[in-house]
């Protein structure tokens, strides 16, 4: 319920997040269904569906979370959250896809890309939490100095 005529940002944000998640699930389902159908019919282009699906999910996640960040932030908004969330979501989809679906043997380039992407995800997560801790510590120090004056 809006207070003083203002829209309830939490409800709008939750609704928008739900729409983003639903769209991502639908895109993933399209990619998996397309791959299964192409595999059953022995048509080429089996992994093209998954590539389309993962790319689309990355785009939807990034721009959706960037939109939420812009709309709900009272301070200058940053791209740190959307970038970190997009990379983690894409990584989880890739790991699940290549772990639980039957691919006879992955090409060497795919194995190398998964290994490299694992390193990228590790660095992004480390910097995300490291920078968050630094910013929080800096603001606590600043408020402590202001209180002493």
pLDDT reported for residue 2 = 46
Residue 7: HSE in the Cβ half-sphere, 13 Å Cα cutoff? 9
Provide the 10 A C-beta neighbour count for residue 28.
18
Residue 135 domain boundaries: 9-148
Q: In a 3-state reduction of DSSP, which class is residue 2?
A: coil
Q: CA angle at residue 58 from 9 to 29, to 5 degrees?
A: 100
Residue 54 lies in a domain: yes
Residue 29 belongs to what H/E stretch?
helix 9-40
Residue 84 lies in a domain: yes
Residue 3 lies in a domain: no
* Residue 46 in tokens: 């089996």
pLDDT per residue as tens, the chain (149 positions): 444 444 555 677 788 888 888 998 898 888 888 878 877 887 776 677 778 888 899 999 999 888 888 877 666 677 888 888 899 998 888 888 777 766 667 778 878 888 898 999 999 888 888 877 777 787 777 776 666 66
Alpha helices in the chain (DSSP H): 9-40, 46-72, 80-100, 108-148
Total number of domains constituting the chain:
1
* Residue 113 in tokens: 């890309």
């Amino acid at each position: 319920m809006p207070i003083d005529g203002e829209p309830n940002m939490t409800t709008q944000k939750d609704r928008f997040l739900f729409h983003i998640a639903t769209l991502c699930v639908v895109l993933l389902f399209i990619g998996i269904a397309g791959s299964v159908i192409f595999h059953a019919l022995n048509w080429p282009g089996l992994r093209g569906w998954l590539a389309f699906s993962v790319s689309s999910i990355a785009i939807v996640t990034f721009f959706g979370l960037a939109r939420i960040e812009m709309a709900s932030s009272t301070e200058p908004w940053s791209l740190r959250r959307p970038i970190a969330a997009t990379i983690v979501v894409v990584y989880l989809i890739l790991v699940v896809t290549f772990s639980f679906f039957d691919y006879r043997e992955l090409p060497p380039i795919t194995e190398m890309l998964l290994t490299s992407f694992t390193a990228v995800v590790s660095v992004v997560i480390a910097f995300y939490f490291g920078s968050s801790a630094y910013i929080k510590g800096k603001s606590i120090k600043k408020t402590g100095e202001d209180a002493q004056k």
